[in-house]
Amino acid sequence: MSAIDAARFQADLLAWYDRSARDLPWRIPPDSGRRADPYRVWLSEIMLQQTTVAAVIPYFEGFTQRWPTVEALAQAPEEDVLSAWAGLGYYARARNLIACARAVAAAGGRFPQDEAGLRTLPGIGAYTAAAIAAIAFGEGATVVDGNIERVMARLHAVETPMPQAKAQLRAHAAALTPVRRPGDYAQALMDLGAGICRPRAPACLACPVRTHCDAAGNAPERFPVKAARAPRPARHGIAYWLTHEGDVLLTRRPGKGLLGGMTSFPTSDFLDERPSPVLAQAPGANWRILPVPVEHGFTHFSLTLAIAHADISGRPRPAGLWRSQGELESAGLPTLFKKVARAGLAALKEDA
DNA sequence: AAGTCGGGGGG
DNA sequence: CCCCCAGACTT
């Protein structure tokens, strides 16, 4: 393992960043002398966790327009925030976002300015604490995300497979972290990982730090080395489409676990076996399975969801979250149930 | 250390 | 299809 001249590395990377920084809604232009708003930095970092920049931008714009300050967000009803988050995924982030906003607002509306203080807040882990400390408060924190792990693995041609290599990659990152401009430096590494040191087909010829890199031009895409991934199992379930006088029954899912707290069609559990059509929902109704099942991929399993339809117009209306068909699109449904809504509407329109 | 937790874009 | 993405939290 060859040592890197940290000062030269930082200078090369920051000079490139000064020329080529991405223009992003939550970002202050490099070395502009202005300080980023901690609220906007925090919000962007939570949204960006395991998510692409392109997916986040419209959500970030929507949130900051509707809730311009952490106090405003802290006062918002939880259902409103979850609905605004719908489609972005990893809904525990949204639940923690609310908890964090309320904790910060209760403490006077100011975020802790150091890593350790930030780390105590809900939804802020090692990465996010370091990123906020560096970007919003200028602390020389070592920021390590997936991009930076990849860059470090290539700079040092680390042969240790992930995830065992994580500690080693963090140590490399720490050795290179500057005291000056730590926020720009961290964002420069992320821009480098997103645009140059990409997972596939890295652009070594365009890389501002290729002279420091053990892997440049030498099969860099081999790093970081990863263990084989387990196959994704298939699961199955039923979504219940119950109609009454033209309205459709929705529900709110339990606050924890998969799609926790989100608005949903009533469903069966999601099981390994295709469920026998036990239609416990509204017993006695004339249930039938609509022809087109919904397919949806989660991180660790793929789901096939059959849609069961029944109409109970003229009978008593069960308690629940009833919505007209026209309201389904704006009901704050996560993507899985937006797929159900579209498939159900199409199938029922076919019938009519 | 391993499992849970969304969704979309690109090869 | 598989991969990855500005990861955190639970067990």
Q: Which residue blocks in A107-246 are alpha helix, DSSP H?
A: 115-119, 126-137, 146-155, 166-176, 182-195
pLDDT digits (tens, 9 = 90+) for A262-310: 999 999 999 988 876 655 666 777 899 999 899 999 999 999 999 999 9
Q: Which nucleotides of B are covered by protein (CB under 7 A)?
A: 2-9, 11
pLDDT digits (tens, 9 = 90+) for A51-79: 999 999 999 999 999 999 999 999 999 99
Give the active site residues of A: 45
Range A6-222 classified under CATH 1.10.340.30:
yes
Distance A51 CA to B6 C1' (A): 9
Domain boundaries, chain A: 6-222, 234-351
The C-alpha atoms of residue A258 and residue A141 are separated, in whole angstroms, by 33
A234-351 homologous superfamily: Nucleoside Triphosphate Pyrophosphohydrolase (3.90.79.10)
Distance A259 CA to C3 C1' (A): 23
Cβ of A142 near strand C (under 7 Å)? The reply is no
Short-list A144, A128, A145, CA closest to A136? A128
Q: What is the mean pLDDT of chain A?
A: 95
The C-alpha atoms of residue A139 and residue A136 are separated, in whole angstroms, by 8
pLDDT digits (tens, 9 = 90+) for A240-256: 999 999 999 999 999 99
Measured in whole angstroms, the distance separating CA A299 from the mean position of its chain's CA atoms is 12
Cβ of A90 near strand C (under 7 Å)? The reply is yes
Q: Give the gyration radius of chain A's Cα atoms.
A: 24
Reported confidence tier of residue A127, pLDDT bands at 50, 70, 90:
very high
Contacts for A76 with CB less than 8 Å, ≥ 6 apart: A67, A98
